[in-house]
Structure formats: structure tokens, C-alpha cells
Amino acid sequence: MKSVGLIVEYNPFHNGHAFHLQASKEAANADVVIAVMSGNFLQRGEPALVSKWYRTRMALLNGVDLVFELPYSFAVQKAETFANGAISILEAAGCESLCFGSENGDIAAFLRTVTFLDEKQQPFNEKIKHFIKTGVSYPKATALSYQELADSENFLDLAKPNNILGFQYIQAINRQKSKLRPLTISRKNADYHDEHFASETIASATSIRKAIFAEESKSANIKQYVPEPTYQILQEYKHHYGGFHRWENYWELLQYQLITSSPGELKEIYEMEEGLENRLTKAAIESSSFQEYMEAVKTKRYTWTRLQRLAVHILTNAKKEELKRNSEKAAYVRLLGMTAAGKEYLNKMKKQFSLPLVTKLSTYNGTEIQQDIKAARVYAMVYPSRQRNKMLQQEFKQPPIFIQK
């Protein structure tokens, strides 16, 4: 069975994702679609709109055949580490190709850029250090350094978020000597960060979430931008849990952590830089909402995304020593769901997996999964005890979801 891998968040699954999925399957001539999906907290440092189990159902009902979880220690990370984890899982699962959406849409441009920067690695790194000293953020310093070195239109625009991720996927494939064949397709209509609906049927996940939060009592205005299974699952989640997850729900938990932790304890948190803990604590004391807190702490050097990721790590008490130790490759492959075709693929391939396949938490004792468990508990904390217990029982007792198509 030919397989194509997708690296996703599906927050939520929308029409653009459906286009990407079908185009990827065709580009790879694949029988099976394997998705590596972030858990309950996402790459930009945000809680997922709905839990990973509900997003797994969205994925399976919309055409994905296997859903594996991207562990917390890779999911809530900068692009390089995020890519390392996802590629290692696809490789371990015997996947043949990877197809990602990009603003560029030309795989040759990605390969040229990766080769070019490998050859220019020393001057590239020197330029990054130079720009960081001027006070800009690391992503900005990287983009500026690249612009100075690569003046040809044959190379990628690495200021675009999906180009950046695709670039890191290919670098991870090279670093890990993976057999994955990289493919890319152009993103359709909506840009990654668009906050407004830009067409009649295609919208970014950002704009869909914004619409949901703006009119939580009547989410019908998103119906044309998401497949019917997504819409129904969102309605179901809202009925069971009373609403969707956003940062403001977690503000008091974050504020408590910052106010009650000592500077020494905060220094141990992953991505915490020397002296930043004092700025964060002061802002937590003086702020009345997460939005106000973020506006108080954001600087030219510390981007909104980086500070959101740090906030997630503070919430989950993720220590530097834990996450740095687990940042190269995943230690396990956790199955969240499958279709009949996915089950057939597993039956044929699972004995060849190069990492342990986890279908129940009780069957895997590795320390790496403890961060996922902590994240699941924190994610559920914003609900009253009945809903919280229900969500946690699902985390610990839910077998992989099976959808018979």
C-alpha cells in the first residue's frame, strides 16, 4: 500500500485541508494517508480549539486513514524541532512520501534552497548572530540573513510561514537520512495568518477560529468553510463541553503559576531566558487578561508566538532538561485513530516500525510520554469536574478511534 504523510494540526479541519489532503494523495499516487497531528497544545503556543480526539475524528471522517500524535515535546516548539519529531514518526511508520502545503508550491525551489544554505552555513550563522545583536527576534534575524545571501528568485521566500515549515521538513529528512520523498502543493486562496474570510469556500483556520469566538452562540457563519463532519463535530463538542478552548480560559492558571513560582523555579522552564522571568511575573501581577499580559511582555526580540509557547511550558511545568533531552527524534508512535484502510496498513507494516507503537497509555512506560499526560491534564483543567473527568478518562482509557468507511 503506497502511503503519503501529512503534518497537521487541524484546528479545525477546513476546506483548505480537504483540498491539501486530496491533492497530496493524487501527487503521491497513495492508497493511504497518514497524518502526524499535534496534541492538545499547538506549535504557535495555543490550546487547540477542541481536543485531539475530536480532531482525530475530523481527520478520519474527512479522508485521513491513520492519525499519530506528535508528542508535546515536539508539537509546542520552534519549526526545526517540530519538523524533527514529525519526520521521525513518519519515517518510523514506514511512510513513503511527505506532502506539505506551501506558498511557493515548487519542490525544486525547496531543494535548491536547502542545498544553498548547507553550502553557506558558516556565513549564514554569522549573519544570524549579527542581526540578533541588533535586538531582533531569531526568526527575523534568520529571514534577514537569508535575504542578504540569497538574492536569486530561484530560491524560497523564507518570510512565509509554510515555506519555513517545508524548508525545515526537508532539512529534517536530510538530517535523519530518511527515505521520505518530499512533495509540495500550493496553498489555496487563504494565507496562514488571514483573520478574515477571503473567499466563498476557503478560509484560514485563524479566521475560522476568530469567527467561532466572535459568535460562539451561532457558529453557522463558518459552515461554508468546513466539511460537514467538521461542522457537526464542533457542534457536538460545544454541546458536551459548553464551548471551545482559547488562551483566556487558561489565564488564571498561568497567572497563578507565575505569581507563586520563585525566580529560580521559573528559570528552569523550557525557553525561559535569563532575566525574562522577572518581566513575566511583573506583567502577570499587573494584567487582568491574557491579552493584556501578552501586550505587556511582547518586544521586538520576544515575538508573540515565542512568548505563547513559553506560556504553555509554564502552564505544564515543562523543564529545560526534559524537553532538550527529547528534541531530536520521537521515542514512540502513538496511534489516535484509523480507518479500515489504515488498519490494513498497520497490520502489514507495524512489525517493521522502528519505534514502539502505543495504542494504550498503560502499555508504554517511557518517560517521554509523561509530558503528554501533563499537557492533557492541564488542557482539561478549565472545565467543571464532570466534564474534566470525562475528558481525562478519554485520555487514559480511549482506544484508538476506528472509522469504518
Instruction: List residues forming the annotated binding site for ATP.
Output: 7-20, 101, 162, 187
Q: Measured in whole angstroms, how far is the alpha carbon of residue 118 from the centre of its chain? A: 26
**What is residue 264's three-state secondary structure?**
helix
Contact 105, 355 (CB under 8 A): no
Q: How big is the chain by its Cα radius of gyration, in Å?
A: 21
Cross-strand bridge partners of residue 38 = 70
Phi, psi (degrees; rounded to nearest 5) at 144:
-65, -40
Sign of CA dihedral 76, 49, 251, 305: positive
Q: For 175, phi and psi rounded to 5 degrees? A: -60, -40
Nearest to 190 by CA among 18, 361, 320: 18
209-246 in b/e form (b: 16+ CB < 10 A) is: bbbbeeeeeebeebeebbbebbbebbeebbeebeebbb
Q: Which residues are annotated as a binding site?
A: 7-20, 101, 162, 187
* Gap between the Cα atoms of 119 and 128, Å rounded: 16
Of 46, 5, 86, 24, which is closest to residue 375 (Cα–Cα)?
A: 46
Report the distance separating Cα 362 and Cα 371, nearest Å.
15
Handedness of CA 225, 391, 77, 248 (dihedral sign): positive
